[in-house]
Amino acid sequence: MIIKLILFSGIAGVTVFIGGILAHYFNHHIKESPVKYEITHTLMSFGSGIILSAVALVLIPKGMEELELLPMVISFLVGAILFMLLDQYLSTKGGRTATLMAMMMDFVPESIALGAVFAIDIRLATFLAVLIGLQNLPEAFNSYRELILSGFSTKKTMIIFFLLSFFGIFGALIGHFILSSHQGLTAHLMTFSSGGILYLLIQDIIPEGKLEKNHLTSLGATLGFLVGVIGDKLV
């Protein structure tokens, strides 16, 4: 059982590193052109759609199921305000790490949830693993671009992505052994993350993916959300 949990969470996490590799080759081996620019922004929008589906279909429902209204609202607002302050701080430093922040805020609590529900509902755990993996790929692709623009070297960026790939395994094991009997705490964590993720989407990621006189990027976000809906319906 534990081996299967490690395998599921490991496959979901390795897409972080794969997304970084794809972004590296795309950025350095594909010539600059309007088409390349459009593809990059469409992937950003697609990633934002998948993040939004995770919030709407996994994180918020879990919070609503486990928490009373006031605790849920407080956790959500604390997440939104905290990441607003962090985003403001990073802006003063010239940082461009919104997508990376959103990915981690989504990746970590969902991995914890994956571990917490694994022993209870294998089907839901499988859905979470697939959704996490699908999210991580475009998010890592976009995060690579942001980190390079922030001044990170290719080597340092890939090391970061390689290390992040293992976060899913650690999160899943924590969820399985520690939080599986503390559903309320897991729900607080997921609701807190939802507030921060939505702030980052509205403030940084969705506007960054927008191109003038181009509707494909908006369609990308819509299709990204649809991926999550389809997965939820299959479960």
Q: What size, in residues, is the chain?
A: 235
Which of left, alpha, beta for 151 (phi over 0: left; psi -120 to 50: alpha)?
left
Structural domains in the chain (count): 1
pTM listed for this prediction: 0.74
Give the range of the structural domain holding residue 164, as residue numbers without chain letter: 2-234
Residue 123 CB coordination number (10 Å): 10
Taking all residues of the chain, what is their mean pLDDT, rounded to a whole number? 78
Mean pLDDT of 127-155: 82
Distances (CA, A) of 107 to 38, 143, 187, 219, 230: 26, 13, 15, 24, 19
State the pLDDT at residue 223.
Answer: 66
Residue with tokens 């509205």: 202
Residue-wise pLDDT tens digits, 197-228 = 888 777 765 555 555 555 555 566 566 666 76
Q: What pLDDT band is residue 102 in, cutting at 50, 70 and 90?
A: low
